[in-house]
Structure 1
């Protein structure tokens, strides 16, 4: 795992149904993200914020809201993430809404193709984000990035990075899902997407869930985590525009992050959908930073050996 980290702020809510995620990058900075990472001996370079078109707040056109603007933001992000990976650095994308997973993950997939690495994507989210324009009346593209990455949608979006589809559904593990539309569920099943929903986590526990989601990761695997803050239960993380009750608790989320850290394969990260306009005293940003710290070595483990063998 690289210990050279680049923070990339992407201040836009272009794909969302509520305004405010554009302020997410600054909230994460205010919550001390760079300082917390540096306390673990990691060199952090804050690249500042990317620039892109303003949010025109228009209704959907042909089923997609703000398509040209979404393309512009994701193309810029794709190039920024790819450039950091080419330098041997770990990009942490500070969102912004989750439509940005398209630019970020398409860049990671491109890097893996060039470097001959296997890709594994952990999608931590309350939503499957596997919608298409025919399935969602809102046209909000933050509900579509996984489907777009897998090739479902207009070429302007599915072709970012020059390869369509950017990824195969088999590389994705979705965790924490608890809000899926009926048509979307059908598409997810057809794609063969591996989903560990909250029912699974309730029945099997977070430890078993993560063992399954991380199975098969080896020394040649690039592990990308796309962390939508609405993954967390809104009782502990109110600062998101798409809250769904019944998410992972603080302890479950900590275990999830610590088990990812244990693999030592994390190579890129998205932190998405943090909405300070809906938060209480930056509480959700502080929690997100706390959990990100667990991805980079803060551990509650006191014993010398793990019982997971």
Structure 2
């Protein structure tokens, strides 16, 4: 399974030789705002935006992964100063502590899935916690843990959006498509399947986790930074019509254009969910992940990605997953993740007056 091992392409920035094609969807963009980040459909304003109240929700498990260690991710993010960094930007931070769930039994796959019962239990806990945070008007930040937890997180967000009649846009920042099924991958590791489960392809207990399945439709998802995809998974991604901005697209078009396309149509009625797998980043700057793939976004590309998301003012929920302190160097990757999350909440490189976009 490509999601469980490094890419061996000698040309890092072209790691997917037959790259996932992403149709250039031509859209009429508005005139450039003063700071030059045109995003279709987003209202711009000089009004001050009240900072959100966030709920930090730890899910310390690596039950869906192929390597141990992601269970230590939540504490590494706290040690790296996530709470203080967000508070510095005026964000009200509530740390809800860690969820509890079954231990990782570290067993082989059964009927195509590893640790399915344990993965379901963890995702139910995540679903309840994220749903409770949203119901209380909080912006939930899920501290993973491996990426299988996105099933519970995004299912809760989708349920919240359906109840409010609100549109949902999911940005999937990842080196991997995570669109495998038990028929496509021999490993059975569920951290390679969460997006497929969310779109209706997977075990019923995960597909219908929120009481209604599928949780999302492929057209609600934008995948960014993809560069390691199994052959069968690639065909399946094409069949489902996922909108993918792989690393070749970013190389050719640049991160600014990529994000303009990924965010096009986001408006005041859109809930924006970011599922940030730390292996989205190039391993030269972020070594602390279990499935490193060369050729990912640089520090500046990642910062621009986050700043343009922040510019929309529509961020409503966030996953930070697959951070593996056991493979890190002096918590370097956790510190970088905190730095990037700061950019999602207002830190900017801009040295000139910065208009903001209206949240409400």
Larger CA Rg, structure 1 vs 2: 2
Match of 1:46 in 2: 95
Match of 1:158 in 2: 207
Matches within 5 A, 1:140-289: 140-289=189-338
For 1:300 and 1:188, locate their aligned partners in 2 and report how far apart those are by CA, in whole Å: 35
For 1:304 and 1:198, locate their aligned partners in 2 and report how far apart those are by CA, in whole Å: 32
Residues 231, 4 of structure 1: CA spacing in aligned structure 2 closer, same or farther, 3 A cutoff? same
Match of 2:55 in 1: 6
| 1:253-277 superposed Cα distances (whole Å, 9 cap, x missing partner) | 0000000000000010000000000
Please list every run of 5 or more consecutive structure 2 residues that lacks an aligned counterpart in the other structure: 1-49, 356-360
| 1:8 CA drift (Å) | 0.1
SS in 2 for 1:304: coil
Say what the alpha-carbon RMSD is for the aligned residues: 0.9
Match of 2:82 in 1: 33
| 1:246 CA drift (Å) | 0.2
Residues 2, 91 of structure 1: CA spacing in aligned structure 2 closer, same or farther, 3 A cutoff? farther
| 1:25-65 superposed Cα distances (whole Å, 9 cap, x missing partner) | 00000000000000111110000000000000000000000
For 2:167 and 2:208, locate their aligned partners in 1 and report how far apart those are by CA, in whole Å: 20
Does the aligned pair in 1 maintain the 2:274–2:318 contact within 8 Å? Answer: yes
Please list every run of 5 or more consecutive structure 1 residues that lacks an aligned counterpart in the other structure: none
Match of 1:290 in 2: 339
Matches within 5 A, 1:71-110: 71-110=120-159
Corresponding residue pairs, total: 306
Match of 1:124 in 2: 173
Does the aligned pair in 2 maintain the 1:2–1:88 contact within 8 Å? Answer: no
Q: Does 1:114 align with 2:169?
A: no
| 1:304 CA drift (Å) | 2.8
Does the aligned pair in 1 maintain the 2:218–2:240 contact within 8 Å? Answer: yes
| 1:162 CA drift (Å) | 0.3
For 1:30 and 1:216, locate their aligned partners in 2 and report how far apart those are by CA, in whole Å: 37
| 1:154 CA drift (Å) | 1.2
For 1:278 and 1:305, locate their aligned partners in 2 and report how far apart those are by CA, in whole Å: 38
User: Which TM-score applies when normalising by structure 2?
Assistant: 0.84
SS in 2 for 1:208: helix
Residues 2, 107 of structure 1: CA spacing in aligned structure 2 closer, same or farther, 3 A cutoff? farther
For 2:341 and 2:354, locate their aligned partners in 1 and report how far apart those are by CA, in whole Å: 23
For 2:51 and 2:66, locate their aligned partners in 1 and report how far apart those are by CA, in whole Å: 35
| 1:157 CA drift (Å) | 1.1
User: Which TM-score applies when normalising by structure 1?
Assistant: 0.98
Does the aligned pair in 1 maintain the 2:161–2:271 contact within 8 Å? Answer: yes
| 1:305 CA drift (Å) | 5.8
| 1:302 CA drift (Å) | 1.4
Does the aligned pair in 2 maintain the 1:9–1:95 contact within 8 Å? Answer: yes
